[in-house]
Amino acid sequence: MTDRSSEDDQSKPSIARVYDYLLGGKDNYAVDREIGDFFIKDLPGSQAVAFANRGALVRAVAAMARDGISQFVDMGSGLPTADNVHQVAQRHRADARVVYVDHDPVVVAHSRALLTADDRTTAIRADLREPEELYHDPGLQELVDFDEPVGVVFSAVLHHLTDAERPAELARWWVDRVPSDSQVYISHFRSGGNEETRLLEQKLQSSFGRGQWRTDEEITGLFDGLELLEPGLVPCSLWRPDPAPDDDAAGNGVDRPALTVWEQLISCALARKP
């Protein structure tokens, strides 16, 4: 989800465009780069949050596809970048279908341009806070069969909703509409009880007027009605990490470096509907 205030207005920052800038993308404006540069220059190392989140998303989509999921709904998808959800899914399942959902018109326009030659993927402009309207969107209904397992992705989006906007109820709304063996992936900023957490949260709230960090217990509560899959809720960098180059087939290898304080600020989990 992106903030309504940024629609078609290059003078106001966009969550999606700031994230794009932090990942090294070029689909952003000066107002977005100003915020991105705050993270890069004033909070050195904080870009690790964006990269850790993106890496875990790629691994989670691959895991869902390997588990037999062939249709995905990516909520608050953001701007296209390397290894998009449909690219990852289709590497493992050629028949995979993906619906990207975002409220930012720039995001949707770029996504549609990218997907012109792919009839198994589409982009929809919709507000996540209005799930009923999204559910009945013809583009979603055309590609997603809700009688078959669905992979629902909430990557770094629910922390942009306040408690008053009931993110747990929103997640549960979709859980109730997908069948057994569907899977739900959520990544979320977590309260760290430290200065880094406070500064990051303060900057996002002052820039976009929204955003709420949550405790591990609160994030786990977003998976109501689901069975958490291994390794449960962990920092994104620790969610089923790819083998280190020096690891051997038996799992032996060099010790991984300890997580930075920034990498500890975003966690994720994958869960299955029984």
Segment 105-143, tens digit of pLDDT: 888 988 888 887 789 999 999 999 999 999 999 999 999
pLDDT per position as a tens digit, 187-230: 999 987 777 778 777 777 777 767 788 999 999 999 999 999 99
Could you state, in order of their start, the residue ranges of all structural domains in the chain? 4-239+257-272
Return the CATH class of domain 4-239+257-272: alpha beta
Q: Specify the pLDDT at position 3.
A: 42
61: exposed, middle or buried (C-beta count within 10 Å: 0-12, 13-18, 19+)? buried
Helices (H), the chain: 15-22, 30-37, 47-66, 85-92, 105-114, 131-135, 138-143, 167-175, 195-208, 216-221
d(CA 152, CA 61): 10
What is the pTM assigned to this prediction?
0.87
pLDDT per position as a tens digit, 221-246: 999 999 999 999 999 999 999 986 66
122: exposed, middle or buried (C-beta count within 10 Å: 0-12, 13-18, 19+)? buried
